[in-house]
Amino acid sequence: MTTFDDRESAFEAKFAHDEEMQFKAQARCNKLLGLWAAERMGLSGEKAEEYAKTVVIADFEEPGDEDVIRKVTADLEGKVTSDEIRAKRAELLPIAKEQIMNEAAAG
């Protein structure tokens, strides 16, 4: 292999790793949002965890975050606006990224 091939392989590996970390951070953010919403619905423990999983799964319906926002907005039945949910998700994303990075460093 040439130095160029080595660099190309390293770049591809870094890109794949970064994409995986971003995917994990988005999923963690959605879980945290689900736990936050569950609390507002009066759910706790296992029921809150189960609800949070449904929020994570909702993100696979379409690209972007709007599928998650729609689900949580509907589930909260007018208790919180879509804009408030977007703001909460934006607040939770850096927390999720930090958690993922700490887990990667520890693991």
pLDDT tens for each residue of 21-41: 889 999 999 999 999 999 999
pLDDT at position 26, please?
Answer: 94
On whether residue 104 sits in a domain, the answer given is yes
On whether residue 95 sits in a domain, the answer given is yes
Locate 19 and state its tokens: 């994409």
> Residue 2 — pLDDT band, cuts 50, 70, 90?
confident
Contact 30, 68 (CB under 8 A): yes
Could you list the residue range(s) of the whole structural domain that residue 57 is in? 41-107
On whether residue 87 sits in a domain, the answer given is yes
On whether residue 75 sits in a domain, the answer given is yes
On whether residue 55 sits in a domain, the answer given is yes
Considering just the CA atoms, what is the radius of gyration of the chain in Å? 17
Count: domains in the chain = 1
DSSP states along 16-85: HHHHHHHHHHHHHHHHHHHHHHHHHTT--HHHHHHHHHHHHHHTTSSSSSHHHHHHHHHHTTTSS-HHHH
**What does residue 50 show for φ and ψ, rounded to 5 degrees?**
-60, -45
Q: Is 80 left (phi over 0), alpha (psi -120 to 50) or beta?
A: beta
On whether residue 71 sits in a domain, the answer given is yes
Q: What is the pTM (predicted TM-score) of this model? A: 0.84
Closest CA relative to residue 52, chosen from 65, 40, 36:
36
